[in-house]
Amino acid sequence: MNFKLLKTSKKSQARLGILKTAHGKIPTPFFMPIATRGSVKSLASKDLKTLGADIILSNTYHLYFRPGLKVIQKSGGLHQLMNWPGPILTDSGGFQVFSLGSKFDKLNKSNQLVRITEKGAEFRSVYDGSKHLFTPQSVIKIQQVFGSDIMMVLDQCVANPASRQQAEEAAARTLRWAKISQTASVGAHNCAPNTQHVASRDAARKKNHLLFAIVQGSLYKDLRLKCAQELGKMNFAGYAIGGLAVGESPKEMYKVLDYTVPALPQNKPHYLMGVGYPEQIIESVKRGIDMFDCVIPTREARHGRLYVWNRRSLRARNFYKTINIASAKFAAETSAINPGAKLPELREYSKAYLRHLFSVGEPLALRLATLNNLEFYLKLMEKIRVNIKNNKL
């Protein structure tokens, strides 16, 4: 078993566990900083280790184009290319295909950039307009070249609100693609080369991945439950919930989690894709979610918005706040960016200095703000795990 459930809180459905991957064990619940193109913007891999990140997420769509499979393969895989020793989760690229093509407009109209067929997703590159096809099989092969620890199947995501017909068709196709993906993954295991010309670590890298399925169904309970139950029968290594945080309210998202998470295999990790704000992570953990990723901490950092602790207890209302470091009130604020930070830069540089860096466009501003926000998110997960252990969450 790759996942060991250690404890379920007496107060909620919050869980503690250990997820075992080819590049290390990860305590759950956890948050994955996003290294879209093989890098968390403005940070080096060693910064992520210093912050305490156990796993990162990279994007199949963008890496497929740049630097491309040949460069990644020649480098020995994504870990070697990035000089990152820990686990890596890669998405299938499907979300980017659908979102970059349709822009998730409210009507979810079809367009000329993306064409979905039973075979896969045909699309034009946002880089040069060239035509490409992602299939359930091809995204598995791409992620195997990466050497991903956790690979996601190709699914079809629709924006909310979606019509019943749109959601039903996407969920059904997601199920069919999941079966194909699983077969492609198992086939790669059985057919992995074992000759003198292939290094044993490369063969192991292709075999020792975990394949996660994705539950779709928009905001329709019966579709979500059917998708969860059918995927559960396929015995994937883990289960993600997709198609949320794409237009619905937090209340609607929590409602979907309330009925979907209990339908997932309870002996497997549960991953909520693309979420979210700190309070959303806490509410989702209480509903049985173990894994998170989101662009919020790094994207907000690039806009000068810093996450700061307000209260020690996660149960306190407004336990955190965000500050706009560009505000004039910080022009002469000589206190540290984060006096209790793990990293010395956040303790040694002042808010006034950080504001100055943003005002003159110095790249160091992005680095310091990103370090602050990721440290906040990773500390949030530490606090969550302690609270679950003590039955306080």
> For residues 53 and 379, what is the distance between their CA atoms, to the nearest angstrom?
10
202 and 338 belong to one structural domain: no
Going by C-alpha positions, the residue among 253, 250, 185 that lies closest to residue 219 is 253
Residue whose token pair is 């996450």: 307
pLDDT in tens, 231-261: 999 999 999 999 999 999 999 999 999 999 9
Amino acid at 250: P
381 and 279 belong to one structural domain: no
> For residues 158 and 108, what is the distance between their CA atoms, to the nearest angstrom?
7
User: In this structure, is residue 7 part of a structural domain?
Assistant: yes
Answer yes or no: is pLDDT of 283 > 70: yes
Task: Tell me what percent of the residues of the chain surpass a pLDDT of 90.
Answer: 84
Rounded to 5°, the CA angle 40-149-63 comes to: 45
Contact 127, 168 (CB under 8 A): no
This model's pTM is above 0.85: yes
Q: What is the predicted pLDDT for the residue at 315?
A: 86
212 and 311 belong to one structural domain: no
72 and 212 belong to one structural domain: yes
User: In this structure, is residue 101 part of a structural domain?
Assistant: yes
Contact 245, 253 (CB under 8 A): yes
User: Around 275, how many Cα atoms within 13 Å sit in the side-chain half-sphere?
Assistant: 28
Residues assigned a catalytic role: 91, 293
Across the chain, mean pLDDT equals 92
181 and 313 belong to one structural domain: no
User: In this structure, is residue 29 part of a structural domain?
Assistant: yes
Q: Which residues are CB-neighbours of 242 under 8 A, at least 6 positions away?
A: 95, 155, 157, 214, 215, 216, 273, 274
Q: How many structural domains compose the chain?
A: 2
Q: Which domain holds residue 377?
A: 305-388
Tokens representing 192?
């992995």
Mean pLDDT of 287-315: 96
Amino acid at 249: S
168 and 265 belong to one structural domain: yes
> For residues 292 and 311, what is the distance between their CA atoms, to the nearest angstrom?
23
Q: What is the predicted pLDDT for the residue at 24?
A: 98
